[in-house]
Structure 1
Amino acid sequence: MSMMTPSESKPIRVLIADDHAMVLEMFKQFLSNLPDFEAQTAPDLDTALEKMDAEGPFDLVLVDLDMPGMNGVGGLSKAIERNGGNPVGILTSNPTAHVVSESLSLGGAGIILKTESLKNLTNEIRFMANGGRYVPVELINRPRAKARDSSGNSSLSEREMTVLALLAQGKPNREIGAELGLAEATVKMHVKSICAKLGASNRTQAVIVARDIGIF
């Protein structure tokens, strides 16, 4: 019985789902020009799921975080269920810390950034298709939220915790100020401090990070 040489081994079958036609064409053209890859594409989650049912499981499926049908990382769970236990990763541009941690906790194969160079893509895909979990180094090194200090207390002040709770209700600075008897400029200062302490770039991300690390 003859052994298969590497050149005769099966190509890595990749399914890429994204609602931007240019992104799909770029990925497919790049991968299809390589001898050991076979790429297919889908414009939305439903089409990707249908392809997995008909032609899967694929060695790796990459799903765009923001395309129709995804509903955040909820679509990742569906794709994982339908890919027969094979890896499924997220394709995105600038994921929050919450998205990174939740996608990994759901069993995702990792994150591929659309902002990365294509020359890194083949190694990332091989790694994920072989069972590795890939997270770009810049996401790992991002400032993480400091939820609690050494005494076990929240690093946010009591006033900041109150403001954060109102932010979570979607209230603007003016309403928060009226409710707490504070000037709008003071509320802005508290919001800025909350974002800095939680490593968040805006008020929405601050709420997401706070929930992610269990502040409330």
Structure 2
Amino acid sequence: MLAVRAIIADDHPLFRGALQQAAGSLMPGATVLEAACMADVWALLKQYPGTELVFLDLMMPGTDGFAGLSVLKAEYPDVAVIMISAHEDNLTISRAMALGASAFVPKSAPLGTLSQAIDAVLDGDSWLPDGVELAQGEDTQKLALIARLTPQQLRVLKMIADGLLNKQIAFEMQVQETTVKQHVSAILRKLEVYNRTQAGLLYQSLHQVASSQ
């Protein structure tokens, strides 16, 4: 296996340390970095642009549910993401995969399971735990549309969800209001919705995570 650079993003030091040790043993020669919050992830990705893999805890501070995954894949589409979470229900796993995760590993999984996920992802494949059937409902289909957005469009969508008007968004982004209007039109088209309210509600759904089962 070629040496890779990976980031382990989890806010629990003991789990993060255990995962780093496990990942190091499963990826000989790899550079494994640690992040305790989403801000740390952004800083490391900027500092180490060759990063290939991120182990991302769904409930880590700053992830805002699935929003962190969505932004990460928009900003760094070539970085593979293995979601690590105590939430193991099919809907949560399905939503993560719809938003671009390459694999989903429950925190309760043994080391051998993590090894299978890493091998599959580094080979360019996706990976799921045995017995998981991805949900095909409207919820996951709608979330998958968010993956179509560019980083700028995703930023505009977040501000729409926060209730900002086009003029306010233009000020925040330091662009012309006509540019914002173009972004909004593209967002509505890509998300297959008719108005800003529907688009904002779809973004807000990224924050919803089911209870652990």
TM range (shorter): 0.5 to 0.7
Q: Which runs of 5+ in 2 are unaligned?
A: 139-208
After superposition, the Cα gap between the structure-2 partners of 1:12 and 1:101, relative to the gap in structure 1 and judged at 3 Å, is same
Partner SS, residue 14 of structure 1:
strand
Correspondence for 1:12: 4
Partner SS, residue 109 of structure 2:
coil
After superposition, the Cα gap between the structure-2 partners of 1:86 and 1:205, relative to the gap in structure 1 and judged at 3 Å, is closer
One-letter code of the match for 2:97? L
Tell me how far 1:73 sits from its aligned partner. Answer: 0.9
After superposition, the Cα gap between the structure-2 partners of 1:11 and 1:69, relative to the gap in structure 1 and judged at 3 Å, is same
Identity of aligned residues (%): 22
Tell me how far 1:205 sits from its aligned partner. Answer: 5.5
Structure 2 residue 119 is the aligned partner of structure 1 residue 132: no
One-letter code of the match for 1:123? Q
After superposition, the Cα gap between the structure-2 partners of 1:100 and 1:20, relative to the gap in structure 1 and judged at 3 Å, is same
* TM-score, reference length from structure 2: 0.57
Structure 2 residue 118 is the aligned partner of structure 1 residue 114: no
Residues 3-25 of structure 1, C-alpha deviations (whole Å, 9 max, x = no match): xxx6xxx4122211000001110
Partner SS, residue 132 of structure 2:
helix
In the TM superposition, what are the counterparts of 1:58-97 in structure 2 within 5 Å?
58-97=51-90
Contact 1:58–1:83 under 8 Å retained in 2: no
Correspondence for 1:199: none
Tell me how far 1:89 sits from its aligned partner. Answer: 2.3
Contact 1:45–1:63 under 8 Å retained in 2: no
One-letter code of the match for 1:17? A
Tell me how far 1:122 sits from its aligned partner. Answer: 2.3
One-letter code of the match for 1:114? K
Give me the whole-angstrom Cα distance separating, in 2, the residues matched to 1:115 and 1:79: 24
Which residue of 5, 8, 23 maps to 2:15? 23
Partner SS, residue 6 of structure 2:
strand
Contact 2:105–2:113 under 8 Å retained in 1: no
One-letter code of the match for 1:131? G
* TM-score, reference length from structure 1: 0.57
Correspondence for 2:116: 123
One-letter code of the match for 2:20? K
Runs of 4+ residues deviating >4 angstroms? 144-147
Correspondence for 1:104: 97
Contact 1:19–1:68 under 8 Å retained in 2: yes
Tell me how far 1:115 sits from its aligned partner. Answer: 0.6
Residues 124-180 of structure 1, C-alpha deviations (whole Å, 9 max, x = no match): 112112221111113339xx7999xxxxxxxxxxxxxxxxxxxxxxxxxxxxxxxxx
Tell me how far 1:58 sits from its aligned partner. Answer: 1.8
Structure 2 residue 87 is the aligned partner of structure 1 residue 56: no
Tell me how far 1:27 sits from its aligned partner. Answer: 1.2
Give me the whole-angstrom Cα distance separating, in 2, the residues matched to 1:146 and 1:49: 32
Residues 163-210 of structure 1, C-alpha deviations (whole Å, 9 max, x = no match): xxxxxxxxxxxxxxxxxxxxxxxxxxxxxxxxxxxxxxxxx959xxxx
Give me the whole-angstrom Cα distance separating, in 1, the residues matched to 2:111 and 2:4: 17
Select the structure with the greater relative contact order (CA < 8 A; seq sep ≥ 6).
2
Structure showing greater Rg: 1
Q: Which runs of 5+ in 1 are unaligned?
A: 1-5, 148-203, 207-216
RMSD after superposition: 2.8
